[in-house]
Amino acid sequence: MDMRRDSSSYDLMLITKFASITHMETYLVDPLHQEVSIFIGGVLDIVRTDSEEYETQHTPLR
């Protein structure tokens, strides 16, 4: 795994524990979980886009 450690790096982790596979499957399709998942995906897209734009604009000339 290639880990970047600079100003464009970010970490995100969710640790969950379920009593059973059935509980996990219920969680995955829960409307609130789906809403949060979409929100987090959107935030990560913004971070990626901002990071890529910054790197493009601040690439040293050779």
Give the pLDDT of residue 39: 87
Tens digit of each residue's pLDDT (9 = 90 or more) over 11-34: 777 788 999 999 999 999 999 999
Contact 52, 58 (CB under 8 A): no
* Percent of the chain surpassing pLDDT 90: 31
Whether the model clears a pTM of 0.75, i.e. scores above it, the answer is no
Alpha helices in 1-62 (DSSP H): 21-29, 31-57
Look at 22 and 46; give whichever has higher pLDDT: 22
